Amino acid sequence: MTDLLSTLDLDRLRSRTSAKWRVYGPDVLPLWVAEMDVPLAEPIVRAVSDLVASGDTGYPAAPDEYVAAFSAFAAARWGWQVDTSLARVVPDILAGLSAVIEATTDRGDTILVPSPVYGPFFRNPRLQGRVVEPVALTADGRLDVPSLETAFAAAVAHGRRAAVLLSNPHNPTGAVHTRGELEALAAAAARHGVVVISDEAHAPLVHDGATFVPYVGVDPRGFSVLSAAKTWNLAGFKAAVVVAGTDAREIVESFPVTLFNSVGHVSLVAQAAAFRDGEPWLDELLPALTRSRDLLADLVAEHLPHARMQLPESTYLAWVDLSAYGAGDNPAAQILERGRVALSAGTDFGPGGEGHVRVNFATHPEILTEAVQRIAGALA
């Protein structure tokens, strides 16, 4: 069956110059960074090509078209009526998270992160002088709200402010937080005056059976940060939007105007085309991702019988526990060295990541199959 993941073979992918395909040598199968091995959606190709062909590559005008395209997508996809006066365009998701952290906490304050989680959640707040406090996810990779609440109480002692960085859906476990989980988190955060900043980078990439809930829909004091980059494979066209809850307007209004100076015109146009005209492509992509996820689960069961892998409810990333293979805290190192497959090391995701790897399954089924065989060989 030809689908978006089986269109590009290894030879064509090797000619790519982005990080996924260039960081490692030509003998390595790269299943690490969150890029997908797919052709771009036609409306995005057209929008970017038109700009380039006409030399229309200057500074961005007001971000209104981007915000309008995003909010129309959010309404159609999730029934989320975004109040666009609460939305601010920022250079990328991480810049949006940092801007909210800067505006809601001080140096020395605590940023709580449900762990294991996307590595920059640890690194970036530390660069801002914040103290990062991991709070373990439950054994099945979900939010542990009672433990978070205990950590909230400690973080705000002595008059300190605190925030929690939420990955919604969660990278790397793929958990799509339910409305009930988010409401419990919002209530706990409100009791302690903690701010919740929700990174919704993977929001549209939800497999059948789970439903994404935008965080600001359950918490007027919170923030949702989204972009088209993960869903339409546009990491090379950076832009994102921060949406404040209805009680947090003054925070986005306090963002420095210089933040928008780092947003690129071509990026805004590419991402706006994705939100506006990219839904048919997304609807074609999702079943292909689900098939690839299920193929990976079958391959793991066959070749790595001692591994533990839960089917992710979202994303094209699988979180696999390889600790039974005795390759130490970082099996990705042994797999790269002996098997020539690049995976994301579990230890990059903080406490709880030991013995794990993150596998990017947004690739050709033949590549995925060979990669798992090589991984099994490397761990044998």
Shortest Cβ 53–ligand PLP spacing (Å): 27
# residues contacting ligand PLP (CB under 6 A) = 15
- Minimum distance from CB of 360 to ligand PLP (Å)? 10
Residue 175 Cβ vs ligand PLP, minimum distance, rounded to whole Å:
12
* Piece of the chain touching ligand PLP by CB under 6 A; list 91-99, 140-148, 287-295, 362-370: 91-99
Is residue 235 a contact residue for ligand PLP (CB under 6 A)? Answer: yes
- 229 part of the interface to ligand PLP, by CB under 6 A: yes
**E-assigned strand segments in the chain:** 29-30, 87-90, 110-115, 131-136, 162-167, 195-199, 223-226, 240-244, 308-309, 317-321, 341-342, 344-345, 356-360
Residue 71 neighbours by CB distance under 10 Å: 19
Q: Binders of ligand PLP among 16-55, rule CB under 6 A?
A: 34
| 168 binds ligand PLP per the rule CB under 6 A | no
CB-based contacts of 294-297 (< 8 A; 24+ apart in sequence): 295/361, 295/365, 295/368, 295/369, 296/359, 296/361, 296/368, 296/372
Can you tell me which of 240, 243, 244, 309 binds ligand PLP, judged by CB under 6 A? 240
In terms of CB distance, is 142 or 160 closer to ligand PLP? 142
Cα–Cα distance for residue pair 380/377, rounded to 1 Å: 5
Q: Does the protein bind ligand PLP through residue 201 (CB under 6 A)?
A: yes
In this structure, are residues 84 and 136 in contact, taking their beta carbons and an 8 Å threshold? no
Selected binder of ligand PLP within 93, 243, 318, 372 (CB under 6 A): 93
Is residue 318 involved in binding ligand PLP (CB under 6 A)? no
Distance CA 363, CA 309 (A): 18
How near is the Cβ of 181 to ligand PLP at its closest, in Å? 17
Strands 195-199, 162-167: parallel, antiparallel or unpaired by DSSP? parallel
Contact 68, 84 (CB under 8 A): yes
Question: Per the structure block, which two tokens stand in for 355?
Answer: 């013995």
List the interface residues with ligand PLP, window 259-298 (CB under 6 A). none
CB 75 to ligand PLP: min, Å: 22
- Contact with ligand PLP (CB under 6 A) among 98, 110, 115, 167: 167
Q: Toward ligand PLP, which CB reaches closer, 86 or 205?
A: 205
The residue ranges that bind ligand PLP (CB under 6 A) are: 34, 92-94, 118, 167, 171, 199, 201, 227, 229-230, 235, 238, 240
